[in-house]
Amino acid sequence: MRNRTVPGKYTIGSWQNLEAADAQRELERQVIATQHLMVVRCLYPEGSAFSEHVHPQEQITIVEEGTLEIEVDGEKLSVGPGQMVSINRGVPHACRVLGDQAVRALNLFHAPDPDSPSVHAAGGEGMI
């Protein structure tokens, strides 16, 4: 199956057709985006950590494998397989991999406005 979007109707995609990109030297990610939503499938290697940052949109993280410690506005949360966390837009957060296993997670966002200055400044990176 190839990825395809029919504006106003549907988007179809497959992780199998996407090459994993090393977006932040430690993080492998694959992205499927529609007109309104973006799903970022991430592989966080064992021992990796990502410093505090914010997003202009709400973030939902669903852990598939492994355990992430996500610090949301100073509060540490442990999120394991089958669990999710929703982080409101503009709320500072950071994360790190717990234990000796890599973490696979899905991060869901509203698709960024392509004309937004924050999208151009970030170069599409920093979505974790």
Question: What six digits make up the tokens of 77?
Answer: 């949360």
Q: Give phi and psi for 122, each to the nearest 5.
A: -80, -15
The mean pLDDT of 3-30, rounded to a whole number, is 62
The mean pLDDT of 98-120, rounded to a whole number, is 78
- Report whether pLDDT(13) > 80: no
Give CA angle at 93 (87, 97), nearest 5°. Answer: 105
Model confidence at 83, pLDDT cuts 50, 70, 90, reads very high
Domain ranges of the chain: 19-112
Per CATH, the number for 19-112 is 2.60.120.10
Contacts within 8 Å (CB) and 24+ apart, 116-123: 116/56, 118/56
DSSP codes, the chain: ---EEETTTEEE--GGGSPPEETTSS-EEEEEE-SSEEEEEEEE-TT-EEEEE--SS-EEEEEEESEEEEEETTEEEEE-TT-EEEE-TT--EEEEEETTS-EEEEEEEEPPPTT-HHHHHHTT----
Give the mean pLDDT of the chain: 79
- Report whether pLDDT(78) > 80: yes
How confident is the model over 23-65, as pLDDT tens digits? 445 678 899 888 889 999 999 999 999 889 998 899 999 999 9
